[in-house]
Each structure stands twice: as structure tokens, then as C-alpha cells.
Amino acid sequence: MKNFKSIFIIAALIALAGCQSKVQYGDATEVETVNANFGSTDLQAITTKMVNSMLTFPPIIAITANERPIIFVDRIKNKTSEHIDTESVTDSISNQLLRSGKFRFIDMTKVDAVRKQLDYQNNSGMVDPSTAINFGRQIGAQYMLYGNLSSIVKQAGSTKDVYYKMTMRLMDLQTGLIEWSDEKEIRKVKSSSFLGL
């Protein structure tokens, strides 16, 4: 009976040791292939393609030769069947364009917060009027950057095919003309084994 208890305890300890999880840091730029869903590698591929395309497009080079145009970025529309954080895609693209030194940005997501702060400064009676920022002093955007992320998903037996397409455009707000447009396509194929692994 003692041997049985000892064997049981050892088996339980081995089982517990095997259930422990381990967390490690990985390379954020390493290809991520956990599943066929939209992932970090897709985000990086899209943002790199769009930023490089825009910065090397001859009319954009001409527009940014002597000035830093002001852009606002409209949130990318998610037309896929997945829940995708398109704000993260938008943030990555605008960050890279801003760091290029070619553009300046207006953050439309913070307009209400700015309006509240300006109202507080000008109308609360609690801020020294000589230090309050006046209404109507902000600079308007010259261009709007916007886009769509769509997908087509097909499945046949154990094979799943996922196609993503990201389309972006830069519009001149004064004329309504599209100054730049491009797209990035990504295809992922997942094949399951007989056991579903």
C-alpha cells in the first residue's frame, strides 16, 4: 500500500509539473502563424506596404517637398467577419508617417476632449484669461487618409482559405481629389490534419 501511495504522489507531481505554463518574450517582428485569423504579421505587412507606397509616390513626394501637409486619419472600416482592432492599424500607419517628418496630423478622436478643455478654460471663470487658449485657433486638415479592410473566407473540408485586402486613399479636402491610393493583399491557407490538429 505504501508503494501505491508513493507511486500516486510521484505521478501527481509529474502531472502538475506538466500542467505548468511558461511565458517567454518573443520577437514582435517574427512571423506569427497561430491560426488563419488576422494577426500581428498581417498588421505589420499592411502598415509597411501602405507607408512605403505613400512616401514613395511621386505626387506625394512633390506635395511634401516644401511643406508638411496636415492630415487627419479616419478610422479604417472593418468589413471582415472578424473582430479586428482597426484602430491599431490606423495608429501604426499614422505613427510611421508622422515619424517620416513629411506630415503633421490632427487627432479627430480627441476633438470632444479638446472642446471640453477649451470650454473650461474660456467659460469656467477658473482659468486666468491671459493663459486661456482661445476658440477658433486650431489649424484645419488639408488631407484625409481613410481605408477599408475586407476579407473573403472559404472552407473546403479541412482546408480554410482566408484572403484579406486593405485599401487606403488620401483625399485633398479642398478639391475632393484622391491624391494617392493603394492596396495590400494577404492570403492565408490553413490545413488541418486528420486529427484536427
Residue 10 lies inside a defined structural domain of this protein:
no
CATH number at residue 179: 3.40.50
- Rounded to two decimals, what is the model's pTM? 0.75
Asked, for residue 46, whether it belongs to a domain, the answer is yes
Asked whether residue 131 is domain-assigned, the answer is: yes
Q: Is 185 a member of any domain?
A: yes
45 occurs within a structural domain: yes
The rounded distance, in Å, linking the Cα atoms of 149 and 171 is 18
In the block, residue with C-alpha cell 500516486:
8
Query: Tell me, what's the pLDDT at 12?
Result: 64
Residue 85 confidence (pLDDT): 83
Task: Let me know if residue 26 belongs to a domain.
Answer: no
Please give the pLDDT value at position 157: 83
Amino acid in position 95: N
- Would 2 be classed as within a structural domain? no
Rounded Cα distance, 108 and 158, in Å: 44
73, 105 contact by CB (below 8 A)? yes
Burial class (CB in 10 A: 0-12, 13-18, 19+), 42: buried
197 residues of the chain, pLDDT tens digit each: 566 666 767 666 666 555 566 766 655 566 656 556 677 788 888 899 999 999 999 999 999 999 999 999 998 899 988 888 888 888 999 999 999 999 999 988 888 898 899 999 999 889 998 898 888 888 899 999 999 999 888 888 888 888 989 999 999 999 999 999 999 998 888 887 655 54
Q: Determine, yes or no, domain membership for 168.
A: yes
Selection from 181, 152, 156 nearest residue 164 by Cα:
152
What local confidence, expressed as pLDDT, does residue 48 receive? 92
What is the domain count for the chain? 1
At residue 2, the pLDDT reads 62
**Are 166 and 38 contacting, i.e. CB atoms less than 8 angstroms apart?**
no
Domain that holds residue 153: 37-191
